Structure 1
Amino acid sequence: MALAPHAVHHLYQYRKSISTKPFGARGKKLIRCPLCLLGEQFCTCALRRQLQTQASFLLIMYNDEVLKPTNSGRLIADLIPDTHAYIWSRTEPEAALLALLDSPQYQPYLVFPAQYAEQGQTILNQVPMSTLAEGKRPLLIMLDGSWREAIKMFRKSPYLHSLPLLSFDPDTLATYALRKGSHDFQLGTAEVASLALGAIGEAANGKALSTWFDLFVESSLLGRNRRCREDLLPITDFTDAFELAFEQANNGKR
């Protein structure tokens, strides 16, 4: 049975509804699934699962980011049931977004590099669940856009400056980037989210999200047809890896 559309799906439909012209993504002639935005023949929606997790996520997305087929923020919402998504506004942040930050249900952490911290801002690289007040769960906040856009969102959003930063040291990022084959250590939103899950003690869930990202990347490449199929590993290698990672993550919580 297919899972219901999530917060990013709804935000995508809203953003399309207020657009004055079609979004000119690469491969615009490709017939895409309206949910995962992959080519229909490479759609991964039937594989989507929900993880058992104590984490919640808040995606603050730059204006056009939600429309991009390459956006990896939606992969977080694919797997994490309690995920919220809003379009960033410099002058009028949504009341519901601000209410989340003040909710007694959550302890918010902004996942962002320590080098950009405001004076006096708390910096952490781990969040032991035992340190949270009773009844609270971590709300992991991701600024979803290009690197330049993410910096702009942080600097021009004073309501983020008092939040503790969850940050990863350069060695961690370099090791992860090497393992993932990323370039210049500028990891995608979903990749950083997988590190954040590890930082709250949910390494298996982080692995599941990481393999879901791998499947997304490979399916995207197939849809673009920019690499010879002989150069691509069989897509079943990635689907099998995700199914195994998901099983290991959820079996560990039974």
Structure 2
Amino acid sequence: MSNSENGERDPATGHPRPPRREFKARGSFVTRCEGCNLPELNCLCPYQVKADSIAQVWLLTHSIEHFKPTNTGRLIGDVLTQTRVFTWYRTAPDEELAALLEDPRYAPFVIFPDDQPDYAERVVDINAVHTVKQQARIPVFVILDGTWRQARRMFRKSPYLDALPVLPLRTERETRYRLRKPASKAHLCTAEVAIELLRQSGDENAADVLDDYFDVFNDSYAESRYYRKIAQPTAAMQRLLDRKG
């Protein structure tokens, strides 16, 4: 029976969880926390802090990413309460996503590089986000959650995204993600993309909370790979604990 059939839902989004499959990669034998999916040795749960933001993040997640404990998209939902997560389907959009894309309350932007001429007329900059705020609409960052190769396929094979403005992320930030080796330091992971977008669009507090939470995830997972427990809170851990009071 699938998780959607037995009623299991993501506590961060309220949406049905995607069907689980047995995790076969390195670390599949590790006992993981049911709340954060990290090894219990360095559980993330004590450091989860919620933050409000004007902008929302909608993740369009490749089905394979749902099963990777190293996926950082889930961190966004842990922090931002209004995050929505949709599984990418090539043939048709998620019905809820399709309805939301037509909802005039929202102003969605698909986050993607502006490196090809065939969609140049759709490209906007961060000022467009500030403009829709002034129009009392809710800016939405539609982030394609997958590898770079998967994201390009998702962008090209999703006609229901073709009407959306394309917002490329322009940042000097280099990735701090330690759990997968990127082709370039300029290739940020999903959580880092969200952090920079939030910061540039004026949601600095939410960006700071997510940035600290990302660092805690990064350090906790990396240490757990070597079965090492973090004995003393890192600076990011302490800031999150202080926020919780």
Which TM class, normalised by the smaller chain length? 0.7 to 0.9
Does structure 2 conserve the Cα–Cα contact (< 8 Å) formed by 1:219 and 1:235? no
Corresponding residue SS for 2:101: helix
1:79 matched to 2:79? The reply is yes
Cα distance in 1, alignment partners of residues 177 and 25 from structure 2: 24
Residue among 7, 11, 26 paired with 1:5: 11
Task: Please state how far the C-alpha of 1:41 moved relative to its aligned partner.
Answer: 2.5
Amino acid paired to 1:66: H
Aligned residue for 1:100?
100
In the superposition, the TM-score normalised over structure 2's length comes to: 0.83
Kindly indicate whether the alpha-carbon contact (under 8 Å) linking 2:111 and 2:141 is maintained by their aligned counterparts in 1. Answer: yes
- 8 Å contact kept, 1:114–1:123: no
Q: Which residue of 1 aligns with 2:60?
A: 60
Match 2:18 to one of 2, 14, 20: 14
CA deviation map 1:147-179 (0-9, x unaligned):
10011000101121221122123xx2xx3107x
* CA displacement at 1:144 relative to structure 2: 0.4
The aligned amino acid for 1:222 is E
More helix as a share of residues = 1
Change (3 A) 1:234 1:96: same
1:199 maps to 200
Q: Which runs of 5+ in 2 are unaligned?
A: 1-9
What's the C-alpha RMSD, in Å, of the aligned pairs?
2.5
Q: Is the 8 A contact 1:15 1:67 kept in 2?
A: no
Deviation at 1:133, TM superposition (A): 5.8
Matched, 1:26 2:23: no
Structure-2 separation of matches of 1:69 and 1:126 = 35
1:194 maps to amino acid: I
| Identical columns (%) | 32
- Alignment gaps of 5+ in structure 1: 248-254
**1:149 and 2:150 matched:** yes
Aligned length, in residue pairs: 229
Choose the corresponding residue for 2:173, options 173, 176, 183.
176
Counterparts of 1:130-169 in structure 2 under 5 Å? 130-132=131-133, 134-169=135-170
Structure 1 runs (4+) deviating above 4 angstroms are: none
